[in-house]
Chains A and B, each alone.
Chain A
Amino acid sequence: MPRRPEDLIRGAIEVGTIQSMYERLLQVIDHPLSSASDVGRVIAEDPGLTARLLRLVNSPIYGFPSRIDTVTQAISIVGMSQLRDLAIGTSFMRLFSNVPSHLVDMDSFWRHSIACGLAARQLAAHRREANVERFFVAGLLHDIGRPIIFLKAPLEAASALLEASRSRQPLYTVEQKLLGFHHGAVGAALLERWRLPGMLVEATACHHAPRIATRFPAETAIVHLADVFANALALGSSGEHLIPSFEPTAWDLVEFPPSGLAGLLKQVEVQFVHAVNAIMGQEH
């Protein structure tokens, strides 16, 4: 029986080649004088990642007027931190693509994550945040703890699923009861170990209770709302069968006009198809 979230992530993921790319990306990130070509060079070493990123930035989600052919060009147009975050987010997805689980459909899991990422990105764009891609990545990774629970504690995960379905409670409250913590804590422990930005860590840890976020309350509130929207739109599922309970204070913090909600959801649905094709499509 696991005692702490950290017990679950120990030796959780087989990383291999991705790790070296990831380590070098982080190195580039940590250097404020790194340039577009530095980041481009690292990404270009992974043809699969390069193809995914170019598909993504050329998709109607971005709507750049002309075709973007190279990663360096993509960086100068989408922004360096932005593209770097996208690279890390989609690389992370690849790490989990082969989680062997009969409990969760990983394809459906990532669809939910992409929908949440798109909703978060839209909310951030409305607030004219400098790096909206980081919100996309935050949405993409917010439930990352769940496949780890499925992988490392399958018995507890199965009981949690059954209990949640029987008692009509949200899965994360049942996780909390059975394990003493829920998938948010597990995901946050993982992202922290991988030295990802603090905003991603806190948004993942607190996305079911944004009021307890201390460093990034507005960012966490955005991910919280995006998660509610993604569940409501039923675009994919992370194993949750109920729409998570919604915190009204988060809505106040994000300051999104209720009149814009229908338009935002519509846009997420349209972008969803393009994003799924770009990120999860076969590599040529």
Chain B
Amino acid sequence: MTIPLGELDRATADAAAEAARAMNRWLLDALDHVASVGIVQPGHDIESGRDDLLAQAGAALTRICPISGSAFFLLDPDATDFPLAWCDPADRRDEFVAEIDAQIANGVFAWALQTNHPVLVPAATTGGTSLLHALATRNGPMGLYLGTIADRSPYIPDGCQKLISIVLTSCATNLRSEELRAELKRINKGLEAAIEQRTTELRQARDAAFRAAQVKSEFLANMSHEIRTPMNAVLGTAAMLMDTELAADQRALAETIERSGRDLLAIINDILDFSKLEAGKLRVESIPFELAPTVTAVVDLLTAKAEAKGIRLRAKIADGTPREVLGDPGRLRQVLTNLIDNAIKFTHEGFVMVHVAPEPGPPDVHPVTFTIRDSGIGMTPEQLARIFEKFTQADTSTTRKYGGTGLGLTICRQLTELMGGAISASSEPGNGSAFTVLVPFKAPAEPAAPAEPQVPAPTRLTGRVLLAEDYPANQKIARWMLERLGLEVVIAPDGKEVLAALATDARFDLILMDCQMPEMDGYDATRAVRASEAAWHQIPIIAMTAAALASDRDRCFASGMNDYISKPVQQEELARVLARWLPAA
């Protein structure tokens, strides 16, 4: 049979096309296998991640070329050894190790490690072929792949060899990134621990510093308090002394003692306030009060001092200034006293003017400015910039010349800020100074209680007073003051003695109770009295305390006391408070 030439050509062309199609199929198939290599599940540990990668590579290689077994030998950098890390089938492990040992001995292993393509050599331990391929990245070799092939001269086309290289290079790269990822994780963990430790250390240091500052403030507060008690005795004794028959020069000496004592007390009060401010223990009250009488009272108190220096002290309250506001009259008084007193101190001739004026504000807020202007020595801009800093006066020579703690303006500023306001100053050397305090008072919901009328203190009262006071000097002073008012006095040095005195002698009209006493303090003694079933359990008890905070007052009332008088006890104040509870003579 003869085949036409055209037919033959067509047959050849068909065969070539079929071959090309087969090749295409093979290539696409192989590329599919290769593409699936190197996908690792997140969250695995390094060991299982590594085995995953090796198993994927081994499986891909088995699919693209006639390999019957695969083994990976990974470099152990510590032992400079290549132990078997993974193989398939697992039961041919010994066979793979024997083959690789033989290839190490004949040098092919070393050769393959340095090359980046498949090395095909006759198997050393079987009649087949061994395919060796390095597992390497740019950083160097990480291990070696061994594939066993049954055929002595296998058909592994060029394209297939390139795919083998791609699979193993990508496997090496993935192993390397797994290593780096583990390393990164380890470093991160170390870093977190370091940060945690550093944070703890810093927190401890901060807490320690905070505690130290608090201890310092508490110490200052306690010290000031401790000093006030004997100061009370000094002032009281001076008053007692002046009440006796004295020659003119003796009287002058006693007056000096009294004046110096008062100055010292003012300094201590400054320190006490300041340390309380620092410790964050000072609170401002919000009670309704009348503005004009408060300002006038401060000015009246300091008028004598100004007149003694030949200075005019005047106050002017502008039209429209609210009559009543909600705020802390005590703290306002303190700020104004401080500023006016300062102005008098630094003015040698001329005037000190206090000007009170309303400022515009939102509804329910009554901002008021208090301006204290003087014709004193003034300040340079540099001095002005520093006056509100603590322990600072215009300069150190000022301290020597004018005295003072240098805390006054700092306290003024902090008190003003505590009241929600602001303080500012302007001055020129030789042209006087002006301090302006702005306080945003609230509008009172209900009318203020009228300012306490300054009724003249009574001079004579009747009754029997039990005086609870541990400090002997103060016992003497209080006894002297009470007896001057015509009262009969019995002394108890602590709370227990108070209860003993009441038990043996029930004819007392009032107890004057010091709060801080040894054995049993004033609060406990008061509670014990109120808890008693005796007839005297309702006796009026008046607290005497050096603590000046509203919270201390609350504590007195909470324990059952009826009234309150602050130390150091002043004769007039004592008479005024007692007059509420005892009949006049």
Contact = CB atoms under 8 A, between A and B. Distances in A.
B106 A65 contact: yes
B116 A32 contact: no
Given A64-B111, A65-B106, A65-B107, A130 B158 contact: no
Contacts of B260: none
A257 to B, nearest CB: 12
A29 B158 CA distance: 9
Contact of B108 (A65, A81, A130, A132): A65
Given A64-B111, A65-B108, A128-B137, A79 B153 contact: no
A77 interface: yes
B115 interface: yes
A128 B136 contact: yes
Interface string B106-148: 1110110011111111000000000000001110000000000
A32 B117 contact: no
Contacts of A81: 117, 158, 161-162
A70 to B, nearest CB: 11
Contact of A79 (B106, B118, B155): B118
Contacts of A39: 158
B121 A77 contact: yes
Nearest to A63: B111
Nearest to A32: B159
B159 A79 contact: no
Contact of B26 (A33, A35, A129, A131): A33
Contacts of A64: 107, 111
A168 interface: no
B125 to A, nearest CB: 16
B102 to A, nearest CB: 12
Interface in A186-207: none
A39 B155 CA distance: 12
Interface in B138-185: 138, 153, 155-162, 165, 169
Interface residues of A, number: 27
A49 interface: no
Nearest to B140: A128
A19 interface: no
Nearest to B111: A64
Contacts of B157: 32-35
Interface string B81-113: 000000000000000000000000011101100
Contacts of A131: 116-117
Nearest to B134: A128
A64 B109 CA distance: 10
B116 A130 contact: yes
A20 interface: no
Contacts of B161: 79-81
Nearest to B139: A128
B20 to A, nearest CB: 10
Interface residues of B, number: 30
B23 interface: yes
A282 B398 CA distance: 110
Contacts of B155: 35, 37
A132 B107 CA distance: 20
Interface string A191-230: 0000000000000000000000000000000000000000
A66 B120 contact: no
Nearest to B166: A130
A28 to B, nearest CB: 8
Contacts of A76: 119-121
B74 interface: no
A79 B117 contact: yes
Contacts of B160: 33
B137 A35 contact: no
A193 to B, nearest CB: 24
B279 to A, nearest CB: 64
A41 interface: no
Contact of B107 (A29, A33, A36, A66): A66
Nearest to B157: A33
A74 B225 CA distance: 103
A128 B137 CA distance: 8
Interface string A137-159: 00000000000000000000000
A127 interface: yes
Contacts of A33: 23, 26, 157-160
Contacts of B108: 65-66
B111 A65 contact: yes
A29 B159 CA distance: 10
Interface string B309-337: 00000000000000000000000000000
A81 B159 CA distance: 10
A273 to B, nearest CB: 21
B111 A130 contact: no
Contacts of A36: 120, 156
B138 A77 contact: no
A32 B120 contact: no
B27 interface: yes
Interface in A39-69: 39, 63-66
Counting chain A CB atoms within 10 Å of each CB, the highest count among B114, B118, B158, B169 belongs to B158
Given A32-B27, A127-B138, A82 B117 contact: yes
A34 B106 contact: no
A79 B115 contact: yes
A82 to B, nearest CB: 7
Given A65-B106, A80-B161, A128-B137, A35 B156 contact: yes
A263 to B, nearest CB: 16
B582 to A, nearest CB: 102
A127 B139 CA distance: 9
Nearest to B158: A80
B131 to A, nearest CB: 9
A173 B121 CA distance: 49
Interface in A69-119: 72, 76-77, 79-82
A130 B115 CA distance: 8
Nearest to B116: A130
A128 B172 CA distance: 13
A132 B117 CA distance: 10
Interface in B22-39: 23, 26-27
Contact of B23 (A29, A32, A82, A127): A32
A77 to B, nearest CB: 6
Interface of B: 23, 26-27, 106-108, 110-111, 114-121, 136-138, 153, 155-162, 165, 169
26 contacts: A32-B27, A32-B158, A32-B159, A33-B157, A33-B160, A34-B157, A34-B158, A36-B156, A37-B153, A37-B155, A39-B158, A64-B111, A65-B110, A65-B111, A72-B153, A76-B121, A77-B120, A79-B118, A80-B158, A81-B117, A82-B117, A128-B116, A128-B138, A130-B162, A131-B116, A131-B117
Given A33-B26, A128-B136, 12 more contacts: A32-B27, A37-B153, A39-B158, A64-B107, A65-B106, A66-B108, A81-B162, A127-B138, A129-B116, A130-B165, A130-B169, A131-B117
Interface of A: 29, 31-37, 39, 63-66, 72, 76-77, 79-82, 125, 127-132
